[in-house]
Structure 1
């Protein structure tokens, strides 16, 4: 019997726009793969939306294309667990942990994986002076798609001001960490398998660089020394195992070539990587000979096996 797959997309986080693109792309791919598919723009009555799908029969599997808070932080995952509906990507605890960048770093550091040095501060503590030696990065504790990220490179640059940090993004807390000069790298995980290493050719891989039509160039495989490629693949796989990632995920790095292998640092782990025409994970899958439709089909079947 043909599986009924419901795509959850949109929602009400700051990443709604990206989620809508991811959801629509996945919807078309799943239809191509032969599933019976519906899609909903999620509201706060998402439980009712799910139950009313497919003429009131509900789905066999949910394809979660939500990004940001509520869709990526364990909230929707917990609801689907209560409803007994299998869903793509990582489970409740992993989703919650990886959405909290500080907690993610604590766990990775405890497992012996390199992460940038830093700490969490209240935004009201930022009172016009640099909170740590420059260069440093200031970013929200629990947001994705580089929303609200600030890089301070020079002592002469003004320190971040609390009144300019968006409350709906920072929620009163910020991570301050040492800036790692060098290369932006990423590794997608298909289950437990690292797919490839991509280098993103951008000085600052912000929201516009990720999702605009003039997106930063992606070099795959990354043109870096073989030992760095090997280290990135090993670190990504280990990070996914330590955090309990499943389905499709992505591990982001910075690499300072002056430090060799020891200059490779994990920035964060993304349990709901974008699935847009410019997305990194789908590009790595294609590099490995996996079409986008095949990738989406694998995600659905992988979720079904965990019911």
Structure 2
């Protein structure tokens, strides 16, 4: 295994160096973009609060921009405390906006990075140039390549994966196809596309039943392009199939069906350093006895904690780290990825998925794995911003 993916690889205690400055020698301005139209809106707001709290204000200027659930880009309060999940309350951009009608506009000319704020009946206000965008959106319309494409058109550098890797990382079907083409092990799955369902729902149901007959019940019915365990149902037989299909299709008309893989859930973080991607120490998601599986409630409301580092042998650790870096490269990722695996009872690792913008609060698994690997939360945020500032826009 290469040194880039070794847990013993030296990790500097600080990223070092001085970030590039903007016009007139000012500090680089970071636009933290969050919220969005997906069902993961609240998780994105909570993530943004943690990132805003961690950004070093002596090195960077910060511009918080929230996207409402109906797609309006709004200027929001820079108030991390109001953005946290507290007392089972989920935050939203609407609670943070300074105006119910004001809108933030990105530049449409790559030669200009000036961001403008408009309100009805008022003169547009120039908010200044943005040097880098930190998009902490989860799910469709943010993590799936759409926002990344907009930023490419605007000529603004941004944190994380590009258009292709973001799209691949969001679509569980094509993610698995890419992994298979690169020789990475994946579990059995079946896909029901929207046209199949619209043409013949009965045939689509039979396809699922046949899959379960071949691979065994239970199966997981999932939206193909969603995250944070939204819309996922564990189905033990025919009785629960209709409700599961309805729930999955509520989030995405494309459905993926996966077999239950018996084994341990292992996660591994990948971070892009100057010399290439490296893997963190892995973590284990323990069995959640109060939930049917590691669902949204377990992750974000009840805060079921993973074990970091995972109790693995040295050989198992090296194996999952190598697979995580290979998955990062297979999907042409940049910046960061959380790779999720199953360690089967047979001793084989099977990759379940990657997440190109994983949960990023200090208690989320990705930052916790890097904390254990020697990179603090503040250093992690700083490293990602500096990497984005160095990265050219456009084809690469």
Q: Fold match, TM over 0.5?
A: yes
Change (3 A) 1:206 1:184: same
Q: Matched residue of 2:209: which SS?
A: coil
User: In the alignment, which residue of structure 1 is the partner of 2:316?
Assistant: 228
Q: Matched residue of 2:134: which SS?
A: strand
Contact (CA 8 Å) 2:249, 2:255: kept in 1 or not?
Answer: no
Alpha-carbon distance in 2 for matches of 1:79, 1:20: 20
Alpha-carbon distance in 2 for matches of 1:268, 1:293: 26
User: In the alignment, which residue of structure 2 is the partner of 1:11?
Assistant: 36
How far did 1:136 drift? 1.8
Alpha-carbon distance in 2 for matches of 1:33, 1:17: 28
Which stretch of structure 1 is more off in the superposition, 236-245 or 49-58? 49-58
How far did 1:225 drift? 2.6
User: In the alignment, which residue of structure 2 is the partner of 1:29?
Assistant: 54
Which of 103, 124, 138 is the matching residue for 2:221? 138
Contact (CA 8 Å) 1:5, 1:62: kept in 2 or not?
Answer: yes
Which of 49, 52, 63 is the matching residue for 2:116? 52
Is 1:210 aligned to 2:299, yes or no? yes
User: In the alignment, which residue of structure 2 is the partner of 1:304?
Assistant: 389
Alpha-carbon distance in 2 for matches of 1:155, 1:68: 29
Q: Which has the larger radius of gyration?
A: 2
Change (3 A) 1:19 1:33: farther
Which stretch of structure 1 is more off in the superposition, 272-281 or 18-27? 272-281
How far did 1:156 drift? 7.5
Is 1:170 aligned to 2:252, yes or no? yes
TM-align CA RMSD: 2.2
Alpha-carbon distance in 2 for matches of 1:275, 1:55: 30
Alpha-carbon distance in 2 for matches of 1:118, 1:237: 23
Q: Matched residue of 2:318: which SS?
A: helix
Contact (CA 8 Å) 1:202, 1:216: kept in 2 or not?
Answer: no
Contact (CA 8 Å) 1:136, 1:176: kept in 2 or not?
Answer: yes
Change (3 A) 1:33 1:245: farther
Q: Matched residue of 1:147: which SS?
A: coil
Q: Matched residue of 1:130: which SS?
A: helix
The count of aligned residue pairs is 301
Change (3 A) 1:162 1:285: closer
Change (3 A) 1:58 1:45: farther
Alpha-carbon distance in 2 for matches of 1:303, 1:139: 32
| TM-score, scaled to structure 2 | 0.71
Change (3 A) 1:86 1:223: same
Change (3 A) 1:201 1:105: same
Alpha-carbon distance in 2 for matches of 1:34, 1:224: 39
Q: Matched residue of 2:341: which SS?
A: strand
How far did 1:162 drift? 6.4
For structure 2, the residue ranges without an aligned partner over 5 or more in a row are 1-25, 74-102, 107-114, 118-124
User: In the alignment, which residue of structure 2 is the partner of 1:151?
Assistant: 234
How far did 1:160 drift? 3.8
Contact (CA 8 Å) 1:211, 1:278: kept in 2 or not?
Answer: no
Q: Matched residue of 2:351: which SS?
A: strand
How far did 1:34 drift? 2.9
Alpha-carbon distance in 2 for matches of 1:30, 1:151: 39
How far did 1:159 drift? 2.7
How far did 1:52 drift? 1.9
Q: Matched residue of 1:57: which SS?
A: strand
For structure 1, the residue ranges without an aligned partner over 5 or more in a row are none
Alpha-carbon distance in 2 for matches of 1:27, 1:112: 39
| TM-score, scaled to structure 1 | 0.91
User: In the alignment, which residue of structure 1 is the partner of 2:263?
Assistant: 182
Contact (CA 8 Å) 1:77, 1:92: kept in 2 or not?
Answer: yes
